[in-house]
Structure 1
Amino acid sequence: MQITPQARLDEYRSRGWWGKRTIDDLLKEAVSSCGDQLALVDPSNRVLLLGDEPQRLTFHEVDQSVDAMAKAFVSAGVGRDDVVLTQLPNIVEGVLAFLACARIGAILSPVAMAFRKHELTSVIKQLEPSLVLTVRDFHGCDHAKQMKELSDQGVYDGPVICVGEGEIFQSLESAQSAAVNVQLADPELHSGEVATICWTSGTEADPKGVPRHHAHWVFNGECMVEAAMLGEGDRILNPFPLINIAAFGGMVVPWLLCRGCLVQHHPFDLAIFLQQFQAEGINYTVAPPAILTMLLKKPELLNGIDFGQVKCIASGSAPLPPFMVKAWQEQYSVSIMNVFGSNEGCSLISTPVVVGDPEMRAALFPRFGVPGLEWEMDFPKRIRTRLVDLETGEDISGPGMPGELRIDGAMVFDGYWNNAELTAQAFDDQGYFKTGDLFEISTAEGGRFYQFVGRSKEIIIRGGVNISPAELDSLIESHPAVKEAACAAYPDDRLGERVCAVVVTQPDADIDLEILVDFLKSKEISVYKLPEKLIVVPSLPRNPLGKVLRRDLSEIASRD
């Protein structure tokens, strides 16, 4: 399925911005060149997660497993351009599903393990998937039962396959055994066809689907390989859930391009993470700013860990403390790479090559794609950025004036899945994606860098995961004791932000946090969205047009 306009595809190919290789091409190249090399490793605690032993697969074994899974998908009725919805933890099967879909020309759409029936209903209605691949049980949630209930309610009427135990639905092992004689046809894909639909939350209530094609992913991977200075055979530790650009573009595709080893980690457990880091000889990984800062304050946790083989560690999703980036470089000779991105394709990367000074790297991002500015790397040539004054709509070219970052180029998506209205709103008249993030041009280094100011959008980012306040507002307002509600972020040292519900109660009604959380749990929303603070106010702050002032809400939410 191609949704990219042919003119754009032709233009970017002629410029060399997009190539012709597909994801399956990358795998086949790796199998051909280093088939016996260890390639894909399960979380070491898989037995605690799913009850079976972790797998360690060579590229040949990955290829064979991809064939087996692809045959099971075809046997279940999946064909070219059909959608496979997955809800899997960071186990090898998540990577295999991505590769299996690529092999048969299907589209992978992964969702978070935290999604419950509320979110799944929205996604399924938008996608109409041909198959669901999930697990029986994970961290106390019976995912198979959840899918059975959605089937019984008429939300989904297709086949479901379960990794591991198949008590309610067919197990993956059984599905693969039954499909052993299926013949896989060459789908004759080209790189401009959709490979995935990932999901993002903005200020709208429903999740938004973000389609990306094979060439998108290959370029995204090439960016990270160059930025992180990765090379042939490098070993990557992936703590990101396999649901978004950070995991696929930042981890999985670089692994294929480097023909290295991808080590999976889930859920984030610092002790296991550090054990994997040392035992697997990791060259590259990512970690939240709060974790990197905490490790500096507890150096005993790093005793015995050899950082000599580390190319760099990426971080982001929250501003990086300059002292932290400097300390890692001075104390452990580890370069921290500052990454600012989104599923839609916004990507600013402050690399050790481009920004050598660690304190500057924590605060500044290169102004990629701005005429007259050159960089020592190749990938910035395929990215274009501009800063726009939201009041006047004019471009900002001088320092000190906040404006919205807008981005275009080979990494940017084509539009939201089956939503022309949101797509039209997401791009400006020059075709640049409107990120909703405020930057200004720094006075440092002759105006070569952006500096993050804040967000013009109203999303809450808890632990790097976007939460739509509008979705929570409407759910909370359905409680009989609540007259009005609006959610906002309040700062947290570990997660960056947490959710605070600010409510106006009905006359003579009372509500507390425990009651509200129990009510929201009954709506079967994701646990990470649950408010962790409740403030009752006489009225919500609004502007003269009646719009809730989220910035004022955040000030209220930040009160002790």
Structure 2
Amino acid sequence: MQTSSEARIKAMTSAGFWGDETLHGILAARAGDHPDRTALVDQPNKQELTGLPCRRISFRELDSLSDALAAQLLARGLQHGDRLLVQLPNISELALCYYACSKLGVVISPLAVQYGSHEIARFAATLQPAAMITLDDFRGQALAAQARQVLPDTPVWSPGADLYFDQSADRGPAEVLARYREQNPGDANDILTVVWTSGTTGTPKGVPRSHNMWRAMARNTMAAGNYQPGETLLVPFPLVNMAALGGFLFPSVINACKLVLHQPMDPPMFLRQIQEEQVNFTIAPPALLNKLAQQPALWQQCDFSSVRAFGSGSVPLSPAMIEVIEGEYGKPIINFYGSNEGISLFSTPETAASAEYRARMFPRFGAPDMPWTGHSHASITTRVIDPESGVEITRAGIPGELCIAGPAVFDGYLDHDGAGVFTDDGLFRTGDLVEICGEPAHYYRIVGRCKDIINRGGMKISPAELDILLEGFPGLAEAAVCAYPDPQLEEKICACIVPAEDTIAPELGALCAWLEDKGIAKFKLPERLEVFAALPRNPVGKVVRSELAQQVLQRGIST
């Protein structure tokens, strides 16, 4: 399965942005030059979570074990171009699935373990998988039973019961797999994965990505994080999307790194793994970094001497956190901004020295007349347009839709007609609202989503701006705003909060006073307050604003 046109393949290859390396080809090279170096490490409580044993796997073993799995899948009828759903947490079995599928030319479509039967049915209806791999049990969730119920006509296999992921696996005749691979060597432009959008603004869509697209994403991430050959990486985000696949799976095999697996996020276990595995780089959730910055005693209890730098992202970072982690603890912070479709921007100490800039701004890579250098700037094109007219915005301070093109960007959604996805000249319309900003104006600042904008009497308000401020209100564990309908103004703003443990929820007036103290215009102040036990979030941790608005609507009129 390929989605890239011959013209695009030729252009990207001629420019040196794409090549001929497949994921399994890179693994074969690592198995040859670093056979005994550790490639994968399961988290210590894997058996408690999954019933499967913890493992430490070398590059030679990773190549051999993925051969064994590929042979089993081939014997069960999977062929080049078939699609395989996989719902596994961050365990070595998931990584083996990627390498085995790469060897067969099977398209792997990973699902977050949080997804239930409703989502699985929708994904399968679009993907039309030949089979599915998932666990019999994960933390009390009967994932395989759930999958068999919702996909009665699709084979569902589980590690240990149906497929073997260790050296005891029956590989079948070695010559069968060898002959198959000779006939189907694979191409770097073949689709390796179909990952799924987060679905914050609608139904999740399949995102086909080739080996070359992932390799390009990894190249940008490695440049931003200054990844070093042979170092140790800790991945706490699920290996189902851009952050983990482009930021860890591909870089780890490219650079012969030890990849330490972690999921679900368990801060004590995460900190334990940093120390025991002598981790050099990881991406940490903003909330954990904030806690480490606010509690010096917690930082001092742990040994972070091996850590070279921390990455973070998904939400705007706290400048105060960056100042503490960098200035007092001596660990650089890198702010990443990406998407499954191929956004790949980052803000580093070199490109944004001040904490205020790095927390909320990203260099305008790929825009004309910028001072930036390096592969990321040279390989991409970025532009800001008016979401309705498509006219380019070049002045600072005017919100517009970010558009991007480059070697990491996909070709289009799975089985989608492409309407509204790209500009006339081929840039992906990200749906993210940004402003050109900075002194000088060499940066982008994310201000929200195109469909998130609240229209209060003709005044367009970005909810993300209010989210950031409300998250700083004392005594709140979570905070976000959403729109609710109003007959006069079309929409008004509701503040949705989760009080911290043993804390009384504040009154609406106190929240508004807080926002006014921050200099927010009065027309942006919330006119309603709702208290929740938890805010609805998608599998990668982002607030699902459409669902939040629906819950507010169901509660009726409140004050």
| Deviates further, 392-401 or 207-216 | 392-401
Deviation at 1:205, TM superposition (A): 4.6
Deviation at 1:358, TM superposition (A): 2.9
Deviations 1:212-233 (A, max 9, x none): 0000011111111111011110
Q: Distance in 2 between matches of 1:252 and 1:487?
A: 41
Q: Distance in 2 between matches of 1:321 and 1:7?
A: 43
* Corresponding residue for residue 433 of structure 2: 438
- Given that 1:71 and 1:176 are in contact with CA atoms closer than 8 Å, whether structure 2 keeps it comes out as no
1:163 matched to 2:155? The reply is no
| Deviates further, 375-384 or 5-14 | 375-384
TM-score, length basis structure 2: 0.81
Q: Distance in 1 between matches of 2:555 and 2:61?
A: 63
1:448 matched to 2:442? The reply is yes
- Given that 1:329 and 1:358 are in contact with CA atoms closer than 8 Å, whether structure 2 keeps it comes out as no
* Corresponding residue for residue 252 of structure 1: 249
1:232 matched to 2:224? The reply is no
1:131 matched to 2:127? The reply is no
Deviation at 1:304, TM superposition (A): 4.3
Q: Distance in 2 between matches of 1:173 and 1:451?
A: 45
Residue type matched to 1:142 in 2? Answer: A
- Given that 1:68 and 1:176 are in contact with CA atoms closer than 8 Å, whether structure 2 keeps it comes out as no
Alignment of 1:228-307 (within 5 A): 228-307=225-304
Deviation at 1:147, TM superposition (A): 1.9
**2:17 counterpart SS class:** coil
Aligned-residue CA RMSD (Å): 3.4
**2:278 counterpart SS class:** coil
Q: Distance in 2 between matches of 1:5 and 1:492?
A: 48
Deviations 1:347-400 (A, max 9, x none): 211122222333321121100111222424322211110011234422111212
- Given that 1:114 and 1:528 are in contact with CA atoms closer than 8 Å, whether structure 2 keeps it comes out as no
- Given that 1:237 and 1:264 are in contact with CA atoms closer than 8 Å, whether structure 2 keeps it comes out as yes
Q: Distance in 2 between matches of 1:221 and 1:394?
A: 32
Going from structure 1 to structure 2, the CA distance change for 1:115 and 1:203 (only over 3 Å counts) comes to closer
Deviations 1:75-125 (A, max 9, x none): 111110111110001100111101111111111100010111100101111
Going from structure 1 to structure 2, the CA distance change for 1:174 and 1:528 (only over 3 Å counts) comes to farther
Residue type matched to 1:396 in 2? Answer: I
TM-score, length basis structure 1: 0.80
- Given that 1:72 and 1:175 are in contact with CA atoms closer than 8 Å, whether structure 2 keeps it comes out as no
Residue type matched to 1:439 in 2? Answer: V
* Corresponding residue for residue 348 of structure 2: 351
Alignment of 1:176-215 (within 5 A): 177-181=169-173, 183-184=176-177, 185-186=180-181, 187-202=184-199, 205-215=202-212
Q: Distance in 2 between matches of 1:314 and 1:382?
A: 22
1:315 matched to 2:319? The reply is no
- Given that 1:38 and 1:58 are in contact with CA atoms closer than 8 Å, whether structure 2 keeps it comes out as yes
Deviations 1:256-282 (A, max 9, x none): 111010000011000000000111111
* Corresponding residue for residue 336 of structure 1: 333
Deviation at 1:403, TM superposition (A): 1.1
- Given that 2:65 and 2:166 are in contact with CA atoms closer than 8 Å, whether structure 1 keeps it comes out as no
Give 1:457's match in structure 2, choosing from 443, 451, 455. Answer: 451
Q: Tell me the number of residue pairs that the alignment of Structure 1 and Structure 2 aligns.
A: 489
Q: Distance in 2 between matches of 1:114 and 1:412?
A: 26
Going from structure 1 to structure 2, the CA distance change for 1:38 and 1:150 (only over 3 Å counts) comes to same
Task: Structure 2: state its 5+ residue gaps.
Answer: 454-462, 468-480, 485-491, 501-529
* Corresponding residue for residue 26 of structure 1: 26
Task: Structure 1: state its 5+ residue gaps.
Answer: 463-468, 474-485, 495-511, 521-525, 541-555
Q: Distance in 1 between matches of 2:497 and 2:253?
A: 37
- Given that 1:336 and 1:352 are in contact with CA atoms closer than 8 Å, whether structure 2 keeps it comes out as yes
Give 2:411's match in structure 1, choosing from 403, 411, 414. Answer: 414
Deviations 1:447-482 (A, max 9, x none): 1111222221349999xxxxxx9xxx9xxxxxxxxx
Q: Distance in 1 between matches of 2:78 and 2:410?
A: 25
Give 1:377's match in structure 2, choosing from 346, 352, 374. Answer: 374
**1:54 counterpart SS class:** coil
